[in-house]
Amino acid sequence: MDLAQHLSRLPADPRVVVSGNHATPWHTLGLLDAALPSYRLWALNAQPGVPDREGVVLETSFVGPGMRRSPRLSYVPSRLSLVPTMFSSVMPPDVVLLHTTPPRGGKVSLGTEVNVLPAAVEAVRRRGGLVVAQVNPRVPWTHGDAELGVDVVDVVVEADEVLPHAGGAAVDEESTRIGSLVAERVADGSTLQAGIGAVPDATMGGLVGRRGLRIWTEMFSDSVLTLERAGALDPDVPITASFLFGSEELLEWVDGNPRVQMARTEVTNDPGRIARNPAMTSVNTALQVDLFGQANASRIQARIHSGFGGQTDFIVGALHSPGGQAVIALRSWHPKADVSTIVPMVEEPVTSFQMSAVVTEQGVAEVFGHSQGDQARNLIERAAHPSVRDELREEAAQLGLLPAV
C-alpha cells in the first residue's frame, strides 16, 4: 500500500506530527499536504515553507518562523518536557512524519532531530495510526534514542534531500563581552547547556582552556565541536542532546560518532535528570528581564514569538544541581526595538524567574539568594544600560523595591 492509500484511510482532520527545527522532510510533507484537504500540522520551531493554507491548522508548543505570524496558528503553551505527555493524552497524533537515515541492521536513525518524536511514534502506534519515514542518505546516523526499529515504520518514502546548514553567528563586541562574563562563571568539571547564536558561541569560545566539561543540553551546534577539539570536554562522558544544528562539518562529525548520544525530550529536559549533572550551568536568553527577576522570553506585545521551550526545565534543573547555576544572558539594549531590555516590570506573560544571575555587556547582576531590593539594585547598577538607570531607580522606588530617591 502506498502513501496515498494510507492517507486516504485517516480520520477527518487528522493530527500530523512532523520533524521540526531544521530536519523537516519537505518532499514527503508536500506529498501529504497535496493528499489531505484538511489536517492539523504539529511541529516544533517550524521553518519557513510549512504548508500554511485554508484547511491546515498549525499547532505547536514552540513557534518557529514558519508559523509565527500565521492566522492559522494554534499555540499550545507547554514546557517542552511535557509535550510527550500531551501526545499520550489530550493531543494524540494520527500520523507521524519522520526524516531518517536509510535502514541499517533493522534500524533507522532520526539523525539531527530526536526531541518529542519518539513519544509521538509510541503514541500513534498505540492507537493504530500511521508512521511515515522519509529516508535520506544525507541524514547523519546518530545513536541513542535516535535509533528506531524499522518495524515501527508503515511507509517509506525515498528522497535525496539536502540538509540545511548553519553558518557561524557573527560574534560582535557586545556578544564577546557577555560571553566572556558568562565563561568566567564556569569552572572545570561543569556541565553545560549549550545553544546556538552569538552569545553561546562567545561563551563556548571562552571555555576552550577549561578541562573536564560535560554537555547535557536540549540542542547544540558547532561550539561543542570547538570544545571537543580543544580537549575541554571530559572524554569519558558522552555528549547528550535532543537535537542539533550546525555546519556540514558538524554533521560529518556526529555521523556514527558514539561520543554523541541523542536522547528524547523527556530525558534531556527532565529537571530531575538535569539536576543530577554536576555544576549544571544553564545559559538562556530573554526579550526582557524586570526588576523582580522575571524574564519574558516568548511574547512581544502579547503575540506569541516562541514559547517556553526548555528554559523553565533547565533553569529549575540547574538550580537544583550541586554547584549549579542558571544564567540569563542578553544585551542591555534591544537593537531592533530600540528599548532597554531591563524593565521595571514585564508586561507580557512570564517565561521564567528566579535565575542565578542576569548577564549583559554592562556586567553581572546576581539575583539568586538576594533580597528583592538587592536584586533590583544589582539589575539596575550592573546589567541595565546606563541611559535608563535613573528612570529604573525611580520605578523601583514606586514599586517599593528601593527607597524613594
For residues 310 and 21, what is the distance between their CA atoms, to the nearest angstrom? 14
For residues 37 and 33, what is the distance between their CA atoms, to the nearest angstrom? 7
Mean pLDDT of 322-333: 95
For residues 233 and 226, what is the distance between their CA atoms, to the nearest angstrom? 10
> Do the beta carbons of residue 48 and residue 66 sit within 8 Å?
yes
Quote the cell numbers at residue 107. 534500524
pLDDT at 202: 87
pLDDT at 168: 63
Q: 3-class DSSP state for residue 305?
A: coil
> Do the beta carbons of residue 310 and residue 196 sit within 8 Å?
no
- Catalytic residue list: 218
Percentage with pLDDT > 90 across the chain = 87
Cβ partners under 8 Å of residue 209, min gap 6: 230, 232
> Do the beta carbons of residue 277 and residue 216 sit within 8 Å?
yes
In the chain, the amino acid numbered 289 is V
For residues 227 and 100, what is the distance between their CA atoms, to the nearest angstrom? 28
Q: Give the rounded distance of the alpha carbon of 140 from its chain centre.
A: 20
| Cα-only R_g, the chain | 22
Mean pLDDT of 172-188: 93
392 has a pLDDT exceeding 90? yes
Q: Considering Cα of 297, then 298, then 301, then 305, what sign does the dihedral take?
A: positive
199 has a pLDDT exceeding 90? no
Domains of the chain: 3-158 (3.40.1080.10), 173-398 (3.40.1080.20)
Supply the pTM of this predicted model: 0.94
For residues 86 and 76, what is the distance between their CA atoms, to the nearest angstrom? 10
* pLDDT tier for residue 198 given thresholds of 50, 70 and 90: confident
* pLDDT tier for residue 201 given thresholds of 50, 70 and 90: confident
For residues 262 and 242, what is the distance between their CA atoms, to the nearest angstrom? 5
Cβ partners under 8 Å of residue 400, min gap 6: none
> Do the beta carbons of residue 232 and residue 94 sit within 8 Å?
no
